[in-house]
Each structure stands twice: as C-alpha cells, then as structure tokens.
Chains A and B, each alone.
Chain A
Amino acid sequence: MPTLVLLDSSLSMTRPVSVEGSEEFQRKNLAVHGLTMLFEHMATNYRLEFTSLVAFSSLWELMVPFTRDYNTLQEALNNLEDYDKTCLEAALQGVSNVVQQEWGTSCPCQVVLVTDGALGIGRGSLRHSLQTVKQRVEDKKFPLPFPFPSKFYVMCIANAEELQATDSMDNLEQLINLNGGEGQIYTMEGPLCLKSVQSMFGKLIDQAYSPFHAVMRCGNLTSDVQVFPRPEPVIIDEEVDPMPRTVQTDLEIVGFIEIGDISSPPVLSRHLVLPIAVNKEGDEIGTGATDDTEEETSTNQMAGKSPNFCVLLHGSLKVEGMVALVQLGPDWFGMLYSQADSKKKSNLMMSLFELGSEPLPWLGRISQLGPASDAAENPYGEDDSKSPFPIQPKNKRSYAQNVTVWIKASGLQTDVQKILRNARKLPEKTQTFYKELNRLRKAALAFGFWELLKSVAELLERECTLLPDSAHPDAAFQLSHAAQQLKLASSGDSKYAAYEHNITPMLTDFSGGGGADRI
C-alpha cells in the first residue's frame, strides 16, 4: 500500500512554537522531525513501501515521486522552502492525480497530510471548499472520496484545543467522513515540542506501519514470516456481517493444488511472504533486505545459511507448478505460490481470496476439500492424467445448452430453415429433423406461439407436395406425420400439447429397411 505524504508548506507553518528556554522551533521543524521519524521507521521495518512527497500551499508540487529510496525523501524534506497560503482542495486533487497516474484506481493508498491546522481563509480555504461541496458540476467535483481505496491520515502540528477553537477540527472530520470514514486525525498532546510530535507519529506508525508478522505452517514445518504489504481487515457485507475480518497470524497450509486447477483465481490482494529470523527475545533480526551495518550483515548471513521452510516451499511450488492453499481465518483462504519478476528474481507470494466458504466456484466449498489419498480412487489418475477440478455446476448455463431465443426475427428464421433443410434430406436426416422439430415445438408451446406451429405445419405440407419424383417414399410419410403432429399441438389439446412430449418419427415400412429401393 503506497504512501503519499502531503506536507503543508504554507507560511503559517513557520509560526514559532513557544517553548520556555531552549532554542526556538517552527511548526515546520516539528513536522519535519515527525516525518523523519516516520521515514526512518519505514526504512528499517517497511522497506518495500513506496512513498512519495508532495508539498503544497496555494499550489502543489510533487517533490519526490513514489520511491523506496528514503534518503531522497529525507533530503527533499530537509530542503523544503516556505510558500504562501494554504489551499487544500487543489492539493488533494493533485494527490488524486499523482496516485492514479502511478497506481491506477484499484491499488489502496495511504495519504498522510501534515498540517498546522490553519486551513486557509476565504476562497480556496477548506471551509469554503466544504461549504460548496454539494454545488459542484461533474468535472469540478471535490477530490474526496478518492477514486482509489485509501486511508486518509491527518497529522496536526497543533493540539486539539487549538483546533477546536476554530472550526478546523470540524472541517478535518468532515474530510474524513467524505472519504467514507477511512482515516484518522492525530493531534499533539501537551505542549508543542519534539517529544509530543514523536509520540504523535509513534501512534501513526503503530496504526498504519506496523509490520505484519505471522507463522506459516505446513503440519510441523514452520517458518516465521513477514507479510508485506500487511493484509488489511475486510468486510464481507456491511449489513449482514458488518464485523471487519483480519488475517490471523497463524497461516496454516491446508494442502496443494495444481496451477492449472486453481486457474487464475480472482484475489483481493497480493502479498510478499518474506521469511524472517526471530531471535530469542522475539526481536526481528531482519527480513534479509536490510544490510546497513556490519553486525546486521553477519546475522543475516547466519540466517541465510540456516534452512528455512519458506525457501523449500517456494522452490518446490516453482518446480512443480503448484500452489498451496492456506487458511487465513475462519472461512477465509488464500494461496501461496512462486512469483517471478522480469529480472528472474522469484519470490513466495500470498494472494487472499474473497471471504467466504466458496471463494472460487470451480473449487467448490473449501471446507469440503480433503486429501486426495482419502478418495476411493485416485482423483488425479495413476499417471496424473486426470483432475477432480473444475467442479461442474448443477445447471448448465444458457450458452452451453442450446436454448431457443426468438427475440430477433433471424433467430426464428434460422430455426425454421434448419427444419426445412433437414426435411429435404429425409430420410437420411430423420433424427436431426425430429430433434430440431421438437426444439421448435417446445419453445412455441412455452411462448404460447401456436400460430407458428400452424405455419410450420403448412410449410411441411407444402414441402411434401414439392418432393421430387426421385424422393424416398419415407420422406412424404414423415413430412405429413410431422405436420399433423404440429397441428395437433397447436390446438392446445393437453394430449398433444404437453411440453415434455416429443414427436417421434413415424414407423413406416421403409423406415426400418434403411437401404429401401427408390421409386
């Protein structure tokens, strides 16, 4: 989940913070201090997160595009200049554009707004924006809610009392509401100083940037892992089941399935599964990606040399072309598989299926999947030539069962033509002729289209009179028989108009003979 930091660099941010004694700080310094702390945390614990920095006043500017290079971000932060007044709406529009350009609209994103809570005056102020939010035309809509799934965090370099004195707090709360309640406002507690800004950003880190650690297990084989990006809680149905569900920290493998059988399933999200070494105190040594200090490198080398189940699993999944089905919680499953990027680096990935007992129709209910060895007969065949998947649904779909639709005249005409074509090739085509005839009959009866039955009967009778001299004698018999049956059906007489009834070929002296002589 990428992060975009939106930093207020209006003049009001340069207001000094009154601290007795010691040196004088600006609010901006506090903001920079807090963000530095955030970036440091991400650089060590959340390294794969893409972060971008946007500064705004009356205009906005993309200072650093999305990157994992936290040095660049820090540098930009340190060299930030001061500008004019605050105009949040334009900046939020900018955020929306920047994110969409980079990630599209389906990727969830976290937006961290850092401001002093002085949200401008008059036109362009947040107050003004919110007052007019309902009077917008189509192409000038307020940028919230963002078109992509998002969390909107507001870090106020101000304390709550200060914000409540004006209507700033109300306006900010309204912003969160506009974003569908996705987000939170953080204010500083106590005096504005380095310590309280640290504690405020500490709360944000706990809330949004705590790494997700879990134990992956396959029977007795286990591995400590970090799942990145961390899986977010999911709600199935806000009415019937409004409780958000979270992925449990025990990822238990249930069994294995061929890639061809799982067949590109739809997923809620994808995550890297990175093995981590956990030492006795429970502290993480590293995800293997960190190599900052010499000490760390050596511990990493140690970790690299001791066998890890993730690596074994990844290797075998890759070689065999399989996925592991993993349980994420009650009635919630996902899959583990090997994913290679263009540079031939490959990784263990986890995708989360939709919540519920049957996330993929072609697998059926997951709780009903059991070990293949329990089946009376090997469902994969002795030579791996079969597969129990996909599961066939009870009813066939319309496109798989030759339904009759006459909404367009051409549909009806095609069906009539088919019958006539076969009629001319009697008796060779007797079976197809009656099959098509019965199909038409059934549909006409269901649609109450008796006129059609009469009409087709007439057509058949005419066909009969037009038979060439060389025609097989059986043809004439079958045609007049069929015509008569259709007429009977069109009378609505329950004896002949029963839907399940089929017109069967007339038994003639010729029909049995096959190679009967021609007249």
Chain B
Amino acid sequence: MRMFSVSHKTAFVVDHCPYMAESSRQLIECDMLTKSRSQGVIPLAPVSKSLWTCAIECSMEYCRILYDIYPTNKLVNYIVSDSEVHILNSWKQEHQNTHELMAALAAVGPPNPRQDPECCSVLHGLVAAVESLCKITEYQHEFRTALMDTADRVANRGRIICLTNAKSDTHVRMLEDCVLETIQEQNKRAAGSDRLMPIQQCELVLVHIYPQGEETLVSDRQKKELSSVLSSEVHSVRAGRYLACKLNVLVQQHFDLASTTITNIPMKEEQHANTSANYDVELLHHRDAHIEFIKSGDLHMAGSTSRDSGLKETVTLKWCTPRTNSVELHYCTGAYRISPVDVNSRPSSCLTNFLLNGRSVLLEQPRKSGSKVISHMLSSHGGEIFLHVLNSTRSTLEDPPSISEGCGGRVTDYRITDFGEFMRENRLTPFPDSMIDAADRIPVERAKSQLERHTRYWPMIISQTTIFNMQAVVPLANLIVKDTLTDEDVLTCQKTVYNLVDMERKSDPLPISTVGSRGKGPKRDEQYRIMWNELETLVKAHVGTSERHQRVLDCISACRSKPPEEEERKKRGRKREDKEDKTEKNGKDTEEKGWTTDSERLKGVMEREKDEQSECEIIKDSPDSPEPLNKKPRLATEEQQPPEKSKGPVSLLTLWTNRITQANSRKHQEFAGRLSSVNNKAELYQHLKEENGMDVHENGKATR
C-alpha cells in the first residue's frame, strides 16, 4: 500500500440531527432472569438503541479495528454534525485512539429530538470534512520536509465516511454535489497555502441508516466517479447488526484486510472446569497474510468459507497446541497485526490472553491430503499480537555446503566461548530519542564504535594468543577497551601487570600454544617475552584513546624486560647462570632469603603505588621502580630452572606433569592465592596489612 493512499486520512461524519434519535427498533432483552428467581417478577421491557447509538458503536468498532491493525499512519478525523459542527479530534497521532473519541462523544451526547430540524444538517459536517482533508498531517509534513524539491510526490488523498439518514436519492445527490463543490472551493484555497494541501483524490462513502421494519427511501449505488477528484458510493443499511456488518466489510475493503478463523482452539468450559470444548475465533489482519493462498488460487482449498450472507470470506487455520516454549528462529515472510472480530467474546479473550502471556501458537493449513503444513504463527510482541506468515514451500537454500567445508572451516581452535562473551558485552538496547552522547553520536553509531574499540586486537584462534588464555590478564583486557578509564581502572590494570611480573619471576607456566612446533615449544623466558609483546600490542592499540590508557602502556613498558636488550641480556644471563650455579651450591637458604626480600620489596612497591596512583610516571625514576626489580625476577627464574637442567635429561614424569599443568592452567581460573603466592606459599590475611598500613614489612617478615 502506498504511504499516502486514500486510506491515510479518513473523515467520519456522523449525523447528529433530531431524526437520528429515532429508535432502531432492534430490541435487546437486558433483563435476563435466572430460573430460580423468575417467579412473580415481571421482566423489564427490552431496550432499543437509537439510530445515533447504532451509528456511533459501529463507527467506533471501525476505528477499533483500524487502530489495532494500523497504530500509526492511518488517521481518523471524527466529526459530528447538527446545527453546527463538532470536531472531536485532529489528525495528530496522539489523538488517534478510541478512548479519546469515546470521551468526546459522551460530551456531545445523543441528538436532541426537540432541536429545530430546519437548522440541523449533515452538510455542515461534510463541509468540515473536506476542509479537514485539506489539512496537512504530521506524516505528510515530515515527508514534505524530508523530500525538499520532490515534495510534490507527497499526495493528499482521503476518504469521507458519512453516516446519516437521508430523505431520498435526490437528497443523496445534493450531498454529493455539495462535497464536490466544497472540494473545488477548498482546493483553490489550499493552492495558496503552506498549511493546506489540495485534495487529489477523495472517496465519499455515504451510509444511509434506517430503522428496522421500514422501507428504505434511498437506493444502494456502486462506486461512481463524480469527477476526477471525487468518487462516491451509497450504502443503504438497516440499523443494528446489518449496519455493524456493513461497516466491518467496509473497514476490510478500505484497509486491505482479510479474515482468518482459528479453529479447534481447546478451551475449558466455564461450567465444567475439567472438560474442554473446541472454539473458533475470527481475526482480521492485513490481506497480505493470505498472499500465498490468493496467488496460488487455492483460497478455497485453504478452507475458506463464505459467511454472513456471502459478504465476506474467511480462511480457516487450525490451532496446533504448542508443545515447548523453546525459542526458535522461524523463517517468516511477514508479520501482520491482528484484531479480533468479536473482541469481547470469551473465546476471543481466551485466545488473546494466552498470546499476550507470551506463548506462540503455530497454525496449520487444513488440507484434504494427509500432509500437515504449518503456514502461520500467532505471537505477541510487547502487548501486540501478530500473525506471522511462515514459509511453507521448498527453500532454494536447501543443502548448502556446511560452513566447515569453506574458508576457515578446518580450523578447530576458534575462540568461540570468548567471542560469545564478546557478543554478550555488545548486546544492544533501546535508548530514548533524546539520548545523544557528548560527541553527538546516535546510539547505533556508538554501538559501532564500541565494536571497533573492542576488536582492535582480537586474535580469532586460541593458538594465536597467550594473554587471552590467561585468567590473570582478564581485568586489564576488559578495561583497556573502554572509552574512558577511571583512576581506579588504571590501578587495576597496573595490578594486573605487577601480577604478571610476579608470575614471570616465579616462572609460572604460560598457556602458550605448542601447536605447530615440535617438542616442548619455546623456553619459559621466550614464552614470557611473547606474552609481554602481545600484551603490549593490545594496550598499544588503545593508547590513543586517553591519557590514562597511555599510563597503562607506560606501566607495561616499565615493568617488562626490554626486547632490544634481550640478546645482550641473554649473554649476560648465561654468564651469571654459571655464577648462580655456584652460589646455589652454597645452600638453598640464601636463595630463599633473597626471594623473600624481593617479593616483599615488590609488594612494598605495590602498596606504595596505591598511595601514589597519580604519580605512576615518577616511580620509574625512583630507586624502587620496577625497572631493577624486573631483572631480579629473571634471575630468580634462572635460579629455579637450573636444578632441573643440571640433572641432565628431564624425566618423563616432569615432562608429563609440566604438560598437564600447562594444559590445566588454561582450563581453570587460577586460585587467587596461588597467583599471588611466593614459592607456592600464599600469604593469608593480606588485607590486614592494608588496613594496618605501615606495619606491612614487619608483619610480612613475622609470618616467615
């Protein structure tokens, strides 16, 4: 449907003249006495609706269906006409709801039978309707503004539905002429105005309502072009359910609706709670939900039946009781809002409540042959029920090559879980319209830029990365991708780095992949070099984000061993190793002693860091800066390793244990204690030290 078709604007004109107060003569018994109480009581006389009441409730029903199915974009302007015009609402979207119309109608009240019929006419309303159709709607305005030089593409079309009691065919012709004249007049006016638009096409639907049991004075007439702008049709209908039926047909015609009857809905009986009977519920929705039936020409095969004196057709679909509540992504080619025809009936409200509570129902196409075809699904989203059209024909995408057969399909160690975590962190959420950030970016652009930041360094496979396989790096990795860091975040990152320094000194095994290399893989110090390089790559990718990001990098550069000096250090290291070998023979006590002091000193540094967070850079120059520390741990590493090496070839057990430890370290989060342990001894109640502040060193020594 085109955006600005005739159904964009509907003006309802309801006659409020004295003759509309006449009874429709359709009697309704509202005194339904229950058997036990009926004795001796004279039932009250039945009530009957006036022509006015009939017109109002049927037009409200028209609007109810319209608003259910088109909550936006299809607008109604409701006009009541007697000696003057009462315009009950405007084209504004906020005025488009039945509640507001009902309140306005209550204010108007029923027609006053004692009013002078001479000065009352529906003509006032028709003139007002034409004027109203010239008024520009919010949607028209929005598109005209957006299209600029092609603004003339925005059309102005509309429909007038006039509910009245006409005198004769001549009277009807007079009404039509009046509308035509008014359109010509108004179009001239509109041509010179910015706020108004000339009417390009107008459909006049005159509904003549007469009481039951009377002969009609007006004859039905098919749609006829009165001019290039105006077409008109006349419906002569008895008040009561005939009128209701007519307006139901009209709303379907006017808004391209179709009807589906859900059949076989099991429902508990009101009287007998443990029995259930099957019910049918008729729903209206956009016609396109039946497109497959219409096109293939088996509308009738699909179980469509003509009902209510052949006025409308409905397609019957069978309810399939939902088995599971599992979330599944169906291949759905359309979703259309629905409105129950009989909104208040028990079967309707049972069905809608069931759906509103979050269940979905698959609908089956009844077929004569045995095969079962699920063609539709009913499901609610945010309090609105939609009829989903499911694809039930053969797919052109069947039997595609599996993803494992294509590019990258043979790789087996993708970081699937990590990327899953990444996706969770990058889930979307709606923001209110006003929400724009400092850089004036709309939410969707912020989402993209977050993805960009989070993927600056993101190795896809496990064997490509070391740091992302280490639990110890997680705090830093999570923080560094952020747009802004707090001082506390920087501190956390720094702690992570110190922790790594500590690990290196203790020579903890790293989960470095040995894929592709034979044997043991790189040596421990080489492993750490790889790890530090990777960490630096990660942090470098974010260094430009803020000054605090830079501080994290500074910290890493300060703490890690410098790659350029590596060669030299290796040589030196080897010499020292020899020396160390000798010292080692002097006894392990000294070695242990050295360790303790080192770690204590490191901790001391860390504590102080906390106090001097902001002075991170200065630390480099201080005597206690991590620089010299860094070398010591390396020494320590070498100190620990040689004993094994000096014993000649490694035992199978050691090889195996190392391998297992290495593999295991990847699988579980290391105990906090073990991570911060020194020689596999963790200090308990560390927080006490923090609380006691200055006593750190002494306490530390005391525990030893």
Contact = CB atoms under 8 A, between A and B. Distances in A.
Contacts of B153: 239-240, 242
Given A257-B427, A310-B408, A452-B47, A399 B296 contact: no
B47 A370 contact: no
Contacts of A410: 345
B143 A240 contact: yes
B29 interface: yes
Contacts of A317: 423
B382 A391 contact: yes
Contacts of B345: 410-411
A105 B288 CA distance: 13
A398 B377 CA distance: 20
A148 interface: yes
A347 B460 contact: no
B106 A499 contact: yes
Given A50-B396, A306-B408, A370-B446, A497 B109 contact: yes
Contacts of A447: 49, 53, 56-57, 60, 105
Given A304-B409, A398-B343, A323 B352 contact: no
Name which of A264, A373, A379 has the most chain B CB atoms within 10 A of its CB: A264
Contacts of A255: 426-428, 447, 450-451
Interface string B399-443: 111111111111100111101101111111111110101000011
Interface residues of B, number: 138
Contacts of B155: 239
Given A219-B453, A240-B147, A312-B419, A364 B430 contact: yes
A327 B464 CA distance: 30
B71 A347 contact: no
B624 interface: no
A398 B68 contact: yes
Given A267-B333, A455-B44, A403 B98 contact: yes
A445 interface: yes
Given A312-B460, A372-B428, A497-B106, A104 B399 contact: no
Contacts of B312: none
A223 B153 CA distance: 41
Interface string A275-318: 11100000000011100000000000101111111111111110
B407 A306 contact: yes
A341 B409 contact: no
A253 B451 contact: yes
A253 B374 CA distance: 32
Nearest to A304: B410
Given A372-B428, A413-B28, A220 B402 contact: no
A459 interface: yes
B3 interface: yes
A152 interface: no
A337 B143 CA distance: 34
A416 to B, nearest CB: 5
B41 interface: yes
A279 B102 CA distance: 69
A266 B391 CA distance: 10
A79 to B, nearest CB: 27
B308 to A, nearest CB: 13
B553 interface: no
B571 interface: no
Interface of A: 1-2, 48, 50, 100, 102-107, 147-148, 218-221, 223, 229, 237-240, 242, 252-260, 262-267, 270-272, 274-277, 287-289, 301, 303-317, 319-325, 327, 337, 339, 341, 343, 345-349, 361-375, 379-380, 384, 388-393, 395-400, 403-414, 416-417, 442-443, 445-452, 455-456, 458-459, 462, 466, 492, 497-500
B123 interface: no
A221 B455 contact: yes
Contacts of B330: 264
A237 B2 contact: yes
Give the 8 A-B CB pairs with smallest separation, nearest first.
A308-B408, A370-B443, A288-B406, A448-B110, A104-B393, A219-B455, A390-B382, A362-B381
A271 to B, nearest CB: 8
Interface string B260-297: 00000000000000000000000000000001100111
Interface string B458-471: 10110010000000
B402 A107 contact: no
B61 A405 contact: yes
A448 B420 contact: no
B103 A500 contact: yes
Interface in B7-56: 28-32, 37, 41, 44-45, 47-50, 52-53, 56
Nearest to B150: A240
Contacts of B690: none
Contact of B385 (A106, A258, A311, A397): A397
Contact of A304 (B28, B44, B408): B408
B342 interface: yes
A402 to B, nearest CB: 8
B379 interface: yes
B549 interface: no
A289 B405 contact: yes
A371 B423 CA distance: 11
B535 interface: no
B452 to A, nearest CB: 4
30 contacts: A100-B296, A103-B394, A240-B147, A255-B450, A256-B427, A266-B389, A270-B395, A271-B397, A288-B405, A303-B408, A308-B409, A316-B422, A319-B420, A327-B444, A341-B399, A347-B402, A362-B381, A371-B427, A371-B447, A371-B450, A392-B382, A392-B383, A393-B383, A399-B340, A403-B64, A408-B342, A409-B29, A416-B30, A446-B56, A498-B106
B450 A373 contact: yes
Given A307-B408, A446-B105, A220 B456 contact: yes
A497 to B, nearest CB: 7
Interface string B146-162: 01000001110000000
Contact of B30 (A254, A375, A413): A413
Given A255-B428, A397-B339, A311 B408 contact: yes
Given A104-B393, A362-B382, 11 more contacts: A289-B401, A309-B460, A316-B417, A319-B420, A323-B329, A369-B429, A371-B450, A374-B431, A392-B383, A408-B342, A411-B344
A343 B340 contact: no
B44 A270 contact: no
Given A256-B426, A270-B397, A400-B383, A369 B57 contact: no
B585 to A, nearest CB: 49
Contacts of B334: 266
Given A240-B2, A274-B401, A310 B343 contact: no
Given A288-B406, A448-B56, A254 B444 contact: yes
A296 B323 CA distance: 48
Interface in B468-482: none
Contacts of B296: 100, 104-105, 147
Contacts of B448: 219, 252, 254
Contacts of B407: 223, 275-277, 288, 303-304, 306, 308, 310-311
A316 B143 contact: no
Contacts of A305: 408, 410-411
A251 to B, nearest CB: 12
A459 B44 contact: yes
A301 to B, nearest CB: 7
B429 A315 contact: no
